[in-house]
Chain A
Amino acid sequence: MSLPTFDASDDPGPSFAHLVRQSRGPDPLPQQASGELDVPHGTTCVAIKFDGGVLVAGDRRATSGNLISHRAIEKVFATDKWSAIAIAGAAGPAIEMVRLFQLQLEHYEKVEGKSLTLNGKANQLSQMIKQHLPAAMRGMAVVPLFAGFDRKRDVGRLFQFDITGGRYEEREFGVTGSGSLHAGSAIKLGYRPGMDRDEVVTLALSSLYHAADEDSATGLPDFIRKIFPIVATISADGFERVEDDELEAKYDVIIEGIKERGTPA
């Protein structure tokens, strides 16, 4: 590997994807083979705003057709200190896209000496999804949620995407994946403006529970193996994972409540 230097006319600038293409490195987002492929898919993710930031959460199940392919897959990732991404869709390309996106943000920051704005980051992600469209048309769709803390405006913000790269900023919450209909309804019923961190963590856990209750591709919390959803908050202090102990304690309360009330089958 020699030192990558370029003429002014073909300099890739601060874009990592362009750099990889110019240097003929591994293709960052390769086109997949034609035909439907049965690859692992990740499912339900949610993002909710709260007072002082934004929360992102996702269940841990990946499925290939009707089989569970992974019980403890991670679908929520910090993309830098102030933002996070949650992914639903074909797990392989999604994780590769996240890796490239993380690198892209860090690469830009190092080359330019300052971070992209939150809008700039969301726009970058939108372009990556758009490039992925041919693969998405063959059943390899990647549909992320992107959330971050906007340090200029001092608020948490979140964005939803569609497979064409369409980018939609949401005011209160966003959902993606196969269980999103049920997770979204649960959040819609429980959401109030100005909720604090503890309240939205509980709301997110309960929405994932209800999604898993209705959608076979979404995993329930696993008390035997101690596998709980990945939940993270992004606030003025940056990205922070919520510990499993706290999640387990909150689930205990949620499930106690459900037992007391009973739930229609």
Chain B
Amino acid sequence: MTTPFYVSPEQVMKDRADYARKGIARGRSLVAMSYAEGIVIVAENPSNTLHKVSEIYDRIAFAGVGRYNEFDQLRIAGVRHADMKGFSYSREDVDARSLANQYAQSLGHTFTNEMKPMEVEILVAEIGDDAVDDQMFHILYDGTVGDEQGFTVLGGDAGAIAERMDTEFSADRSLGEAIVAAREALADDRELTADDLEVAVLERSNERRTFRRIEGDELTALL
């Protein structure tokens, strides 16, 4: 009979984390930031049908980086959670914090109990009545939740992009200025055009559903 090798729990967790991080680093990054009218999310994404940024509920948006099928599955679970909650209670009872906790539970469970962790990093953003009430929750592959202020970066190259954003950031920019700043931070020395970007906003001035995609001519004009 063969004896299985002993692997320490630290090693198991470290290996899984490395695996997830490598998977995430292969994909492209995204930036979410507050601007004068709400929150804008700018993702580097050459596809205009496979979205990284989507609507969850009236004031809540979702964004993911890493493996598409994994974060899309989380996105759909989020839409279901939000719609069910709004149906059972009221639309005002649906909030980003509770959804972020659910995601954290789910990702944390997968990370410790499954063979393969999810190779994703996700963002749950919610706009409030005023800019000070805006919330952005950044959730990692192992279920770690971070509550971010002002802006946040998801993806493999997050550190360097965040540094570039840090020097640029200001929360009272217009939409156009905010998108250009995000593009500069994502691009570094490269050239990114409207075709390489996926942009969506949660706009305070919109009525019930505040989520709106910015695409095509409108995006080109803003850039």
Question: Which residues of A are in contact with B by a Cβ distance under 8 Å?
Answer: 1-5, 12, 16, 19-20, 23, 25-26, 99-100, 103, 106-107, 110-111, 113
Contact = CB atoms under 8 A, between A and B. Distances in A.
Contacts of B220: none
A20 B84 CA distance: 7
B110 to A, nearest CB: 10
B19 interface: no
A179 B164 CA distance: 67
Nearest to B84: A25
Contact of A4 (B54, B84, B103): B84
A3 B84 contact: no
Given A3-B105, A5-B77, A110 B55 contact: yes
Nearest 6 interchain pairs by C-beta: A3-B102, A4-B80, A110-B79, A3-B106, A3-B77, A5-B77
Contact of B87 (A3, A26, A111, A113): A26
B81 A1 contact: yes
Contacts of B85: 1
Nearest to B86: A103
Interface of B, secondary structure class, is helix
Contacts, number: 57
A23 B76 contact: no
Contact of A1 (B78, B79, B84, B106): B84
17 contacts: A1-B81, A1-B102, A2-B102, A2-B105, A3-B77, A3-B81, A3-B103, A3-B105, A3-B106, A23-B80, A100-B87, A103-B86, A106-B209, A107-B79, A111-B76, A113-B49, A113-B54
Contacts of A103: 83, 86-87
B87 A20 contact: yes
A100 B83 CA distance: 11
Nearest to B79: A110
A106 B105 contact: no
Contacts of A19: 80, 83-84
B18 to A, nearest CB: 26
B203 to A, nearest CB: 15
B74 to A, nearest CB: 8
A4 B81 contact: yes
A41 B154 CA distance: 53
Contacts of A111: 76, 79-80
A5 B51 contact: no
Given A3-B106, A103-B86, 7 more contacts: A4-B77, A5-B73, A5-B77, A16-B83, A25-B88, A111-B80, A113-B54
A1 B105 CA distance: 12
Contacts of A107: 79-80, 83
B105 A110 contact: no
Nearest to B50: A113
Interface in B104-137: 105-106
Nearest to A28: B87
A26 B81 contact: no
A103 B208 CA distance: 13
A3 B85 CA distance: 11
B162 interface: no
A111 B79 CA distance: 7
Contacts of B209: 106
**Counting chain A CB atoms within 10 Å of each CB, which of B73, B78, B81, B87 scores highest?**
B87
Given A3-B77, A3-B81, A19-B80, A110 B87 contact: no
Contacts of A100: 87
Contacts of A25: 84, 87-88
Nearest to B102: A3
